[in-house]
Amino acid sequence: MSTLLEVQNLKTYFFRKKEAIPAVDGVDFTINKGETVALVGESGSGKSITSLSIMGLIEGSGGKLMDGSIKLEGQDLVTYSEKELCRIRGNEVSMIFQEPMTSLNPVLTIGEQITEILIYHKKMSKKEASKKAIALLKLVGFSRPEQMMKDYPHRLSGGMRQRVMIAIALSCDPKLLIADEPTTALDVTIQAQVLALMKDLCQEFGTSILLITHDLGVMSEVADRVIVMYCGQVVENGTVEELFEQPLHPYTEGLLDSIPVIDGAIQPLTAIKGNVPAPDQLPSGCRFAPRCPKAMDRCIGELPKLRTLENGRSVRCFLFEEEASQT
Ligand SMILES: Nc1ncnc2c1ncn2[C@@H]1O[C@H](COP(=O)(O)OP(=O)(O)OP(=O)(O)O)[C@@H](O)[C@H]1O
Ligand code: SF4
Ligand SMILES: [Mg+2]
């Protein structure tokens, strides 16, 4: 499988009274072509800031890209001008957010919003764009797409709006779709339908997905591979099967233990004790040490590196140092 996106040593900081807040602190991962990768971790772990950094939207949020590279098919987006990034956004990389109402323009019809993008990015004529928009709306399951073209966002349900967002996100055949908690605002039954639709269409289009979620159930249904983040860093990276069958990092173990078992016996929900430290109050050693049931003396003063093991998985924990094939 060939690599689509390669993120290396990504550091995105915020600054409060000269004090640095390392929201994303040396993140490394890759996404292959056609692959669905889930980014998981508790609130505040840096998932959204990672995705905004990839989209080149970080300056707008008040943050600063301090270091690292974001290579899309070998081209480093970090070196791109705002004009070049505008061409990439929505065209080669597109994004779906949790609440589609904030991304849709309330005063434009659905048709106007989709055709506008096609005219801008694909240089289509109004007629061509309209034809393509109708086809896209049909693809995301609207049985009367011509009618939908004339509708305004507020007239649609949350699930319908999110399907419109999928149509918009896929309108320019992007190479990568970043979906940040795309279904958390929807009813549980609708969530599954919307996710299945997104996954099916991306497979059909050959689009890779970076799915941000803190729902491990959602992750297990759609992802091929999982990146687990904690306090702005990747702590584990492996396939969904590997993670569920044998989680390596104590944090991943804790996350999996917090999923209630629905089939079979009901298990008590054992959430990870303690809280995620604030990014301006990180412990000096392993960032998980204050909550880790396996912490050793060494973990208090030393920060473990993300190491790749001989079996290809990677983990940031001293317990696996011996098995690491490289440092
Ligand atoms: N505009 C900002 N100013 C200062 N700090 C910020 C800002 N945005 C994010 N942060 C900090 O960066 C860290 C990472 O935030 P991020 O939004 O990426 O978390 P997340 O993993 O997406 O969490 P959630 O699951 O709640 O969406 C947080 O600790 C947050 O406090
Ligand atoms: S390095 Fe130590 S504290 Fe950190 S996760 Fe591993 S065992 Fe726990
Ligand atoms: Mg977020």
Asked if residue 212 lies in contact with residue 39, where contact means CB atoms within 8 angstroms, the answer is: yes
pLDDT above 70 (res 93): yes
pLDDT value of residue 259:
66
Return the exposure string of 38-70: e unless at least 16 CB atoms fall within 10 Å of the residue's CB, then b.
bbbbbebbbbbbbbbbbbbebeeeebebeebeb
Residue nearest to atom 5 of ligand 2 (CA): 317
Asked if residue 224 lies in contact with residue 35, where contact means CB atoms within 8 angstroms, the answer is: yes
What mean pLDDT do residues 112-125 have?
94
Which residue among 16, 40, 45 is best mutated to probe the pocket of ligand 1, counting the most ligand atoms within 8 A of its Cβ? 45
Confidence of residue 84 (pLDDT cuts 50, 70, 90): very high
Q: Is 254 in the pocket of ligand 2 (CB under 6 A)?
A: no
Count the alpha carbons within 13 Å of 215 in the hemisphere toward its beta carbon: 15
Q: Is 288 in the pocket of ligand 2 (CB under 6 A)?
A: yes
What mean pLDDT do residues 161-185 have?
92
pLDDT above 80 (res 327): no
pLDDT value of residue 261:
56
Taking the C-alpha atoms of 184, 161, 115 and 211 in order, what is their torsion angle to the nearest 10 degrees? Answer: 20
Ion ligand 3 neighbours, Cβ < 5 Å: 48
pLDDT value of residue 217:
83
What mean pLDDT do residues 113-128 have?
94
Which residue among 230, 316, 319, 321 is best mutated to probe the pocket of ligand 2, counting the most ligand atoms within 8 A of its Cβ? 319
Q: Is 247 in the pocket of ligand 2 (CB under 6 A)?
A: no
pLDDT value of residue 266:
46
Residue nearest to atom 8 of ligand 2 (CA): 295
Closest atom of ligand 1 to 212 CA is: 22
How close is the Cα of 297 to the center of ligand 1, in Å?
30
How close is the Cα of 272 to the center of ligand 2, in Å?
14
Higher pLDDT, 221 or 65: 65
3-state DSSP assignment of residue 86: helix
Distance CA 172, CA 207 (A): 11
The overall average pLDDT reported for the chain is: 91
pLDDT above 50 (res 116): yes
Confidence of residue 53 (pLDDT cuts 50, 70, 90): very high
Ligand lying nearest the CA atom of residue 49: 1
Tell me which residue of 235, 239, 232, 265 sits closest to 249, measured CA to CA. Answer: 235
pLDDT above 50 (res 302): yes
Confidence of residue 186 (pLDDT cuts 50, 70, 90): confident
Question: pTM value?
Answer: 0.93
What mean pLDDT do residues 121-148 have?
95
What would the DSSP string read from start to end of 169-185?
HHTT--SEEEEESTTTT
What mean pLDDT do residues 155-184 have?
92
Pocket residues for ligand 1 (CB within 6 Å)?
Answer: 14, 21, 23, 41, 43-49, 61-62, 214, 279
pLDDT above 50 (res 255): yes
CA distances from 77 to 41, 144, 189 (A): 25, 39, 37
Closest atom of ligand 1 to 51 CA is: 18
What mean pLDDT do residues 224-237 have?
96
Report the percentage of the chain scoring pLDDT > 90: 72
pLDDT value of residue 155:
93
